[in-house]
Amino acid sequence: MPLNPPVSARHDVSGLVASISRNSDLNSLGQFLEPFRWSVLADFVRPASYPRGHLLISQGDKDRRLFFVETGNLRVDMRTEGGPVQLAIIGAGSVVGEGSFFSHLARNASVAVYSDCKLWEMTPRDFESLARQHPSVALALAMALGATLATRMLDISKRISIT
């Protein structure tokens, strides 16, 4: 289990911002969220490192946390009647958890650490604090997450992997 400092601590998110900037995927946060906003977001996320094999999100859970990927890869799988199906590999500069974050529904897929990762976690409570203290940054983040979600929904191969 990672050691997570209190959310009130200011974190150096420059590595995450660099990863987001390098990510050229259509659903990259960098296309929708300007790097300067991360100086504010740094107060509302927590860093965590996870080893390969760690189960980050379990299909069916009601957890609504978001995870921003600074380094490493995550594997998205779904249990089906025919057995597990690999849906996607999520890499550095991306995000997982946006589906349940918005929908309040159970996770529809599991996410495991595919290669050692450094992630940044944001809870719904963190987002609510962000929205109260910095509404324009919260709106920008919500729009970026919404764009990521919409882009993933348009890609039929990833449609069912919205976690």
Hey, what domains does the chain have and what are their CATH numbers?
14-158 (2.60.120.10)
**What average pLDDT score do residues 69-74 get?**
97
Nearest to 110 by CA among 135, 74, 146, 137: 74
Number of other residues whose CB lies within 10 A of the CB of residue 128: 12
Closest CA relative to residue 149, chosen from 96, 78, 80: 96
Q: Band of the pLDDT at 131, cuts 50, 70, 90? A: very high
- Tens digit of pLDDT for each residue in 5-46? 444 457 899 999 999 999 887 667 888 888 889 989 999 999
Indicate whether 75 pLDDT > 50.
Answer: yes
For 77, which DSSP code? Answer: E
Q: Once rounded to an integer, what is the mean pLDDT over residues 72-95?
A: 92
